[in-house]
Structure 1
Amino acid sequence: MIRLSEIPTTPPDDLDRDDIEDKTKELQERLGDLQKVLYAEQKHSVLVIFQGMDASGKDGAVKHTFKDCHPHGVRVHSFKKPTDEELAHDFLWRVHKQVPPKGMIQVFNRSHYEDILIQRVHGWIDDEHAHRRMAAINAFEELLAFDNNTHIFKFYLHLSYEQQREELQERIDEPDKHWKHNPNDWKEREHWDTYRKYYEYAINESRIPWTIVPVDKRWYRNYIVVKTLVERLEALNMQYPPLPI
């Protein structure tokens, strides 16, 4: 049972930032190499999900993780408030259209988990509805893994309450971050404990596990995310296809 309150949001004290950033650069380059083989081999697909509180660094995680990957092999989709057309379908309808074909990396900046998080926090669905949706999410992800050889990485960006305040305040204080400012983020902050409760539910009920990434120090976030991806993709032993005979 994962309890987020028991997991640090900061790196271990004995880590050297310069050393970790050097390792991160090497891993970013290695991920770029692996992405090229993935694209060429066309046997696997990759789905990367980033979830976290407002200001937990989802955009930054996408930017730094895939900086050395070729743009033709990586797609990013951000799930916003559902449109009228999307609301006329089941909640996974808009998600299924975005999953990766073989050879591709698809990144979800927020995801189908919003439908058992914000919806539940604000009482738009009840507990029974949320439980049914969680069962559908598990079945959906297992379908992708089984039927399309999709490797699913789920990262919860683990931010502290104090660091969130600093990040949100920077969007007011720093001109180059004004475009990120959304007054509603401060209102959502009032529901911090409830969000954490339902994040723990989603994490603990998932059959495909999550990686909990401490993000109060962004350099450590970058390292953990790219290291997790590289280690699992290397284990696939992907190979460039030979010339046809």
Structure 2
Amino acid sequence: MKADKYRFDGSRACDLRALSCDGKDDAPDKDEIIAKTAENLQKMAALQDAFYADGREGLIIVLQALDAAGKDGTVKHVMSGLNPQGVQVTSFKQPNSEELKHDFLWRVNKALPPRGTIAIFNRSYYEDVLVVQVHDLQKTYQMADRVLGESKKAFFKKRYRQIRNYEEYLFDNSYRIVKIFLNISKKEQKKRFLERIDNPAKNWKFSSSDLAERAHFDEYLDVYADVIDATATPESPWYALPADRKWYTRYLVSEIVLDALQQCSHAYPQLDAAAQAALKDCRTQLEAE
């Protein structure tokens, strides 16, 4: 799987600046990749049907990225072939006043899918160790001095541990987690921002606050690398995918989701002898009408 070169499971360090943002080193053929993506979507749809019927595992796909990296487009194009009845998408915005009164995983726990369902987190609990860390927002939290009185490094080290423990807990409760970071270059982000400004149909996607966040671009890369290193495990790996060319990004995401579904339990339930006999009786009654 081409995405394996972008996979981090804790066995090696993540250096985002050393990773390609366009995937050109992979020498992909665009027409071939688009065709393979379409094939993957068909395979995903077939597996999802059995996965939904089986109902023994849940799949959580975490999408994280800097602004304009293509999270919404990835959800739209890669997940379009799935049965919406078995998919739930949650976008995590800045915590509201109610959410801030609880622990940082409270709102995420409410968004967990039933087993047999795929959950897509457009941003996630990782915001609480990313934007919070970059902007020192933890200083504004209403928490005890014993928590906020420690150093910034100690505070987030504990959060990393809590996230690892939480993901281990989910895995042990029959959920699989795949975490994807869309690795956009600063040059490409600028290009997409300008497109949003110049195209009236995309104006709504742009905010002046996006420029304020862009000023922290390099800092975000450093924090993302730290977060990936601290929370990547074999059971809950990270993928830092090149995001500058959307058609290639979507292919890689389709490969990852397909692989995750293949690893999940996806056998259609088998009826016992009594249930099969009842089906035969129903068939006989229908044919007799």
TM-score of the two chains, using structure 2 as the length reference: 0.82
Aligned to 1:201: 226
Q: What's 1:143 paired with?
A: 169
Matched, 1:70 2:83: yes
Instruction: Give the structure 1 partner of residue 153 of structure 2.
Output: 127
Are 2:204 and 1:179 equivalent residues in the alignment?
yes
Secondary structure of 1:213's match? strand
Match of 2:249 among 199, 221, 238: 221
Q: 1:237/1:197 Cα in 2 relative to 1: closer, same or farther (>3 Å)?
A: same
Does the aligned pair in 1 maintain the 2:51–2:265 contact within 8 Å? no
- The alpha-carbon deviation at position 12 of structure 1 amounts to 2.8
| Greater displacement, 179-188 / 226-235 | 226-235
Q: Distance in 1 between matches of 2:41 and 2:23?
A: 19
Post-superposition offset of 1:236: 3.6
User: What letter corresponds to residue 138 of structure 1 in structure 2?
Assistant: R
Residues 1-245 of structure 1: matches in 2 within 5 Å?
Answer: 1-13=13-25, 14-125=27-138, 126-147=152-173, 149-206=174-231, 207=233, 208-236=236-264, 238-244=266-272, 245=275
Quote how far apart the aligned CAs of 1:237 are.
Answer: 5.7
Residue deviations 1:37-57, cap 9 Å, x none? 111000110000000101110
Query: How many Å separate the matches in 2 of 1:210 and 1:222?
Result: 16
Q: Give the partner amino acid of 1:61.
A: T
The alignment partner of 1:56 has SS state of coil
* 1:100-138 deviation per Cα after TM superposition (whole angstroms, max 9, x unaligned): 211000000000000011111012232221111111111
Query: Rg bigger for which structure?
Result: 2
Preserved CA contact (<8 Å) 2:58 2:114: yes
Kindly provide the amino acid, as one letter, of the partner of residue 194 in structure 1: E
Whole-angstrom distance in 2 between the partners of 1:89 and 1:235: 34
| Contact in 2 for aligned 1:120/1:127 (Cα 8 Å) | no
Higher relative contact order (CA 8 A, sep 6+): 2
Q: Distance in 2 between matches of 1:190 and 1:124?
A: 17
Say which is worse superposed, 67-76 or 120-129, in terms of deviation: 120-129
Q: Which portions of structure 1, spanning 4 or more consecutive aligned residues, are displaced by more than 4 angstroms?
A: none
1:104 and 1:36 map into 2 onto residues whose CA distance is 10
Distance in 2 of aligned mates of 1:204 and 1:56: 21
Q: 1:161, CA displacement in angstroms?
A: 0.5
Query: Letter of the aligned partner of 1:92 in structure 2?
Result: L
Residue by residue, what CA displacement relative to the aligned partner does 1:179-211 show, whole Å, maximum 9, x if unpaired? 111110011000011111110011001132201
Match of 2:142 in 1: none
Distance in 2 separating the partners of 1:92 and 1:233: 25
**Which one-letter code corresponds to 1:214 in the other structure?**
P
Gaps of 5+ in 2: 1-12, 139-151, 276-289
Matching residue's letter, 1:79: F
TM-score for both structures, normalised by structure 1: 0.96
CA distance in 1, matches of 2:260, 2:132: 32
Distance in 2 between residues matched to 1:180 and 1:23, nearest whole Å: 30
Alpha-carbon displacement from aligned partner over 1:54-76 (angstroms, at most 9, x marks no partner): 11100011111111101100000
- What value does the CA root-mean-square deviation take over the aligned residues? 1.1
